[in-house]
Amino acid sequence: MSTTPATPEDKLHRLGARHSQLTSLAVGPWHTAEFATAVANVGEEIFLQHYPDVEQACNGIAYEEIVPELILVAQSLPGAVRQHEVDRLQQLAPLARIVVVAGTWCEGELRTGRPPNGVLRLYWYELATWWQAAQRRWSIGLCPAWSAPLDHPQAGRFAIDSTIDGLSLPGVVAIDSADYAVFECLADALGASAIWARNDGSLRAAAGIWDGGQLNDLELHKLTHFCRQVTGPVVALLDFPRVEHFAAARAAGAAAVFAKPYVIEEVLAALN
């Protein structure tokens, strides 16, 4: 390790040498259950290097000549990522985009707490889909989600681009929802053949969307039954899912799980 901070010229030289590799850093408790689950769904290669806290990340950027393009900070509790820490990271890596990945205990923080400014924000269960689509754009030279302007209404959430992914649904899509208005909304977004499933045992569909709540025992039974009826992938939509809810939904047969509110393009991409 160097004993003196790298000069801007040194960092630019290293950036040029690494132009073909995304330099993304992980900061915080990524070993805990929900964050480890998020990384497992993406792959360990998401991070070039991991630091257990912001102070060590700042030392790494300053003394190890690291030029990060993306810094993902795991936030396990409200207030765990403080504004002065974000400011310090931004001072040391002014060209990097900082993404705070919030854990389960941070649900509702946008209403009751004070999240740090100048960052993109995702919940842990959003990371996999967001990363996969953004990485694909970055790999072919297009602007990834993390480079979107922070003042845009969907800052950082440009996960799907139909011109890239060529969305093509597999056929009839069954939508299982207790609310017909939800069915109408999803059917309109699909732009394809959609049927309102009633779990009557005669379902014929190539893919499915199951609209649920917090996945109690009755809902889990219904989801399992629905997955058995649909021949192709099923996407489950849940309210504030926990790690155990993801595992249960996958065990029931769901190919993907999204939390509400969801980005409809991401749901369609999961069905593709």
Which tens digit of pLDDT belongs to each residue from 24-68?
A: 899 999 988 889 888 887 776 677 789 999 999 999 998 877 888
Whether residue 165 has pLDDT greater than 70: no
CA distance 204 to 214: 26
Residue in the block written with tokens 């950027």:
61
Whether residue 69 has pLDDT greater than 80: yes
Whether residue 239 has pLDDT greater than 60: yes
Q: Which domains does the chain have, with CATH numbers?
A: 8-159 (3.40.50.2300), 165-271 (3.40.50.2300)
The pLDDT, as a whole number, for residue 201 is 57
H/E stretch holding 27: strand 24-27
Name the nearest CA neighbour of 72 among 123, 139, 111: 123
Whether residue 183 has pLDDT greater than 50: yes
Q: Which of 67-71, 152-156, 195-199 has the lowest mean pLDDT?
A: 152-156
55 Cβ contact partners less than 8 Å away, ≥ 6 residues apart: none
Q: What are phi and psi of 204, to 5 degrees?
A: -130, 100
pTM beyond 0.85: no
CA distance 57 to 25: 8
Asked whether 166 and 160 are in contact (CB, 8 A), the reply is no
CA distance 90 to 226: 47
Name the nearest CA neighbour of 124 among 231, 41, 12, 10: 41
Name the nearest CA neighbour of 70 among 95, 34, 50: 95
Residue in the block written with tokens 């950082």:
156
CA distance 46 to 64: 19
Which tens digit of pLDDT belongs to each residue from 87-128?
A: 999 999 998 999 999 998 887 776 666 788 889 888 888 888
Asked whether 145 and 157 are in contact (CB, 8 A), the reply is yes
> β-pairing, 234-239 with 70-75?
unpaired
Q: Which of 77-86, 145-154, 173-182 has the lowest mean pLDDT?
A: 145-154
Average pLDDT over residues 166-170: 58
